[in-house]
Structure 1
Amino acid sequence: MASEIPLDIEEKVEVTHVESKSDIDGIDWTHYGDDPDTIEAYKTIMSWSPEERAQQEKRLVRKLDVIVMAMAVLMYILNYLDRNSIAQARVSGLTESTHITPNQYSLVNGIFYILAQTPANMILSKSRPSVFLPVSMCAWALISTCTAATKSFGTLLAVRFILGFAEAPFFPGAAYWLTCWYTKAEIGRRYAIYVGGICISSAFAGLISAGIISNLDGKQGIAGWQWIFIIEGTITVAVAIFVSFFIPDYPQTARRFKPIERVLARMRIDSDGGPSDIGGEPTMFQGFILAVKDYRTWCLGTLQLCITNMIGFNFFYPTLMGLSQGMGYKNKITILLLSAPPYMVALLFSFCMGVSADITRKRVLHWEISFAVTAVALILLIALAKIDSPGGRYASTYILAMGSFAAYSVAYPWVGSLMPRPMTKRASAIGIANSLSNVGAFLSSYVFYAELGPTYRTSWCIVLGMTAYSAAMVWFLGWQNKKRNAELDVIEEQYRTGEIDSVTLATMPVDAQLAARTGWRMSN
């Protein structure tokens, strides 16, 4: 039975499977290493009963949450705080000091990072996150601080362009790093928390900026908007140095974990997505080519592009609140304070959606619910655009934040689920998807172009169209996954009954090998 659109057709590999005493479910688990500590850890784990192993896995996951998850969220909060600081600075005097027009602001806000994402993730798949991520953090913080020294459109544009290359590795890199530690059943709620860093930073950005403007504006001859970049950049550098001492690398090399924890961490991921020796591990370039040739990479990429446009209002939210036909608020402090609550509501909703998606394993359903909530908010904003109802428009942004950020949080778990192996392909696919996501961020600067204000009715219509496309694309991918899973059912049964032997299986696509040997299926 063949799929109309073949999956992983370029990933066929020749692997001779050798049965051994350590063989479990058709997979040779000796690739964990042959040093005495690893061998002893492996033997200990194999001696556990299912109940003991489940208990030990829970302990390990708790440790991962305290170390891996906490570090990822902390870094992402600061990442988005730096990215979002320009929106706060705009209502605090940035445009007046640098003499830029609203359209120039759109360009400054949009000329962030696009091309650096994919090569950064390719490098990360072969390097150490404990070095790569903190160095990236320090670089973007120092460059962001330099924004305070800009005096014109040209210098501001140059700093933002360079800042994009410094920040590029972080989000897709950390997203890929999390998939190396958590299983499909765990990653949804973790991604919801991780992406919730956007909501937390967006909320606190307003509160922090309000405090800075009210207390430091004009002090030492420095404007309030300049203090925003200086203080937030300094904090980020300090945190980058701090986290560099605690970030673990990958399960096979994490020095802060005991040998038994490292082996158990690898066994969990291998059981979930298949061991890394299935299909071999191609080079960075080979993994990139595999990702480019897989149509799902581009489906997910265009999906991310549209979803990023759905949350694109985030960079213009303080400005929208100050427009007479937006929310109509005039006081800078009021605007900054009122911009916080919608993000906190969005954080709670996104987390609930992530937990529910993990429990039910129905990610497509939760994605479609998120799109439906977003569509309701956009229809309200379109309908209220020419009505004198600032309260109604403000309430609609709560709903918009809930739906759009929930959709964003569901997106990345699907990449790891659809492309579990090879790791270099998964890293490249996440990088490509995030590059297209940032094309969406660039386009959102023009979706909310000055000429489309002050109601931005046309902007909301464009975002509604992208929401509809996203819903259709998710349905299409879910339908394709169901078809492929049916084919994998047949392959697994044929392998179990001996109709397909190990030699023949080794020539089949990686997803077929995973299905036959581990029971792996694509997530829906």
Structure 2
Amino acid sequence: MADALAGKVARRLLPFLMLCYFFAYLDRVNVGFAALTMNRDIGLSASAYGFGAGLFFLGYVAFEVPSNLILERVGARLWIARIMVTWALVSASTAFVVGEWSFYAVRILLGLAEAGFFPGIILYLTYWFPARQRAGIVGTFMMAVPLSAAIGAPLSGLVMSGADGALGLAGWQWLYLLEAAPSLLLGVAALFALTDRPEAASWLSETERATLVARMAEDHRSRPGRTAHLGRALVAPRILGLGLVYFGLSTGVYAVGLWLPQIVSAFGFSLVATGFVIAIPYIVSALGMVAWTRRSDRTGERRRHTAIPTIGAGLALLAASQAGTPLLTIVALSLAALGIFAALPTFWTLPTSLLSGSAAAGGIALINALGSIGGFAGPAMMGWIRDATGRFDHALAAVAAVLILAGCLVLRLGRDVERGTVPSPHPDPA
């Protein structure tokens, strides 16, 4: 009954959530593809582009914790719908930037609009799936990211090449307009597709609802070391440490994701060919992350399943920085992407095993906020080093070092993280 029920819940929720995240990530990183012609059209240097691309995360960080606390209070259905509609409108407005300052402003606004979406979904999944199933569930949900890039990159190349000049708009302007439309529609659909809590799931039978509610209550009771106190969660050393780990992972994700089109294009590929080449690392990642998270769920081990691929991704980026040929560079970048995306879902089982209640809402958002600073640092660092040296290899090596340190930090945090215990001077209030 338990496995069948989990499967029924997953079939109901995950396809829609994956679709939402697919377009969320596409709207977040299509700037990397647009930059191939946008930077020239509006006069952005490599440093200005990297800085502006990363500014998304400053707005994102500013509203992260409040957004997740609001979601816990008003429910995922209403709040996810609000997030998606506003980010779609802001993302579409990027088509009309005219210089670096308007580009900076729109990127900050996009971060504010989207803040809370990802940690909100991570929190939402803790309402429906027990900890022992969570790596696989989060891994399936997060597979939307490499799929978004794998499908979105060729699509972006085709849009920019085919629509360029239509109605007097450049291809990169059409890219922003067309790729924002699905997010707007999905935001409206979220009002009807999502259910806030198991207790309100009319699509489950009465017996199924009772079983699921009891199972989630038992999952909470079986982890007595978790903290439910918001203030304590926000200052717990291991929660802050996990935030630093996520900083490293985010640095890798967005440094590579937002600069990969320009790295590939520099080898002489056309817009369309660049899109198809970029898809390769993400297809590899999508396949690998599912296998890795299933292995983590099967063994119950989380810490090494996070650290090993993170360190491996750093080593692969070091190899990419020294590869020298298009083929070897793409192979190394594919391995780096595989490592990063394999680590991410397993990483998110660590904080959810430590926290519950308001502490889960605030703590998960805090970790994501700290990590998202890496989303600013990675692209900005790549741009600064690229302008200073005229090369990508030194920039890739710098990002590699951050990933290797993040992987080592996971190992240093200790076994109590993966066991679901967090040191606390006082017991949580009942």
- Residue 462 of structure 1 is matched in structure 2 by 398
Aligned to 2:379: 445
Say whether the 8 Å CA contact 2:350–2:418 is kept in structure 1.
no
Alignment of 1:1-150 (within 5 A): 55=1, 57-91=2-36, 93-112=37-56, 113-150=60-97
| C-alpha distance in structure 2 between counterparts of 1:304 and 1:333, whole Å | 33
- Structural mapping, 1:409-448, within 5 Å: 409-419=345-355, 421=356, 423-448=357-382
Kindly tell me: are residues 425 and 484 of structure 1, through their superposed partners in 2, closer, same or farther at Cα, counting changes over 3 Å? closer
Residue 255 of structure 1 deviates from its aligned partner by: 4.0
SS of alignment partner, residue 252 of structure 1: helix
Change in CA separation of 1:481 and 1:297 when aligned onto 2, cut-off 3 Å: closer
1:465-484 map, 5 Å: 465-481=401-417
Among 230, 242, 249, the alignment partner of 1:288 is 230
Report which stretch shifted further, 456-465 or 359-368: 456-465
8 A Cα contact 1:308 1:408, kept in partner: no
Contact 2:71/2:120, CA 8 A, preserved across alignment: yes
* Equivalent runs, 1:226-265 vs 2, <5 Å: 226-265=173-212
What SS class does the counterpart of residue 232 from structure 1 fall into?
Answer: helix
Could you list the runs of 5+ residues in structure 2 that have no partner in the other structure?
A: none
Aligned residues: 424
Per the alignment, do residues 280 and 207 of structure 1 end up closer, same or farther by CA in structure 2, a change over 3 Å counting? closer
Cα distance change, pair 135–486 in 1 and its aligned pair in 2 (3 A)? closer
Letter paired with 1:60: L
The answer as to whether partners of 1:122 and 1:288 remain within 8 angstroms in 2 is: no
Compared with structure 1, are the counterparts of its residues 366 and 259 closer, same or farther at alpha carbon in structure 2 (3 Å cutoff)? same
**2:192 is paired with a residue of what secondary structure?**
coil
Deviation digits for residues 429-483 of structure 1, max 9, x if unmatched? 1100110111000100222023255433332332232223222221122334489
- 2:317 alignment partner AA: L
For residue 34 of structure 1, what is the aligned residue in structure 2?
none
Q: Is 2:103 the partner of 1:156?
A: yes
Name whichever structure is richer in helix by fraction.
2
- Any idea what SS the aligned residue of 1:455 has? coil
The answer as to 2:327 corresponding to 1:391 is yes
How big is each residue's C-alpha offset from its partner over 1:108-157, in whole Å with a ceiling of 9 and x where there is no partner? Answer: 10111211111111111122111110111011001111111222222221
Contact 1:447 1:459 in 2 (8 A): yes
Q: Does 1:352 align with 2:294?
A: no
Structure 1 residues 229 and 382: CA distance shift in structure 2, 3 A: closer
Aligned residue type for 1:128: G
Where 2:61 maps in the other structure, the secondary structure is coil
| Aligned position for 1:370 | 309
Matches of 1:348 and 1:453 in 2, distance apart? 35
Shift in alpha-carbon separation, 1:61–1:486, aligned structure 2, 3 A: closer
Q: Which amino acid aligns with 1:351?
A: V
- Residue 225 of structure 1 aligns to a residue whose secondary structure is helix
Contact 2:153 2:279 in 1 (8 A): yes
Q: C-alpha distance in 2, partners of 1:95/1:247?
A: 39
Deviations 1:331-375 (A, max 9, x none): 111111211111011011111110000010011121232124213
Kindly state the Cα deviation for residue 87 of structure 1 after the two structures are TM-superposed: 0.7
- Given the alignment, which residue of 118, 128, 147 partners 1:171? 118
Which residue matches 1:222? Answer: 169
Q: Quick one: distance in 2 between partners of 1:230 and 1:486?
A: 46
The superposition leaves residues 35-75 of structure 1 with CA deviations (integer Å, 9 ceiling, x where unpaired) of xxxxxxxxxxxxxxxxxxxx2x2222122111221221111
Q: Matched residues in 2 for 1:417 and 1:246: separation? A: 27
Alignment check: 8 A CA contact 2:353 2:418 kept? no
Structure 1: unaligned runs, 5 residues or longer: 1-54, 488-506, 514-524
Secondary structure of 2:405 counterpart: helix
- 1:163 Cα deviation from its structure 2 partner: 1.0
Task: Answer yes or no: is 1:183 the counterpart of 2:130.
Answer: yes
Distance 1:279 1:299, change over 3 A: closer
Does residue 195 of structure 1 match 2:159?
Answer: no
Residues 155 and 338 from structure 1, CA distance in 2 versus in 1: closer, same or farther, beyond 3 angstroms?
same
1:321 aligns with 2:264: yes
TM-score between the two structures when normalised by the length of structure 2? 0.92
Q: Percent identity?
A: 23
Shift of 1:280: 12
Q: Is the contact between residue 322 and residue 329 of structure 1 (CA under 8 Å) also seen in structure 2?
A: yes
Name the larger-Rg structure.
1
Q: Is the CA contact (8 Å cut-off) linking 2:32 and 2:259 kept in structure 1?
A: yes
TM-score by length of 1: 0.76
1:298 corresponds to 2:240: yes
- Residue 158 of structure 1, CA deviation: 1.1
Offset, 1:426: 1.0
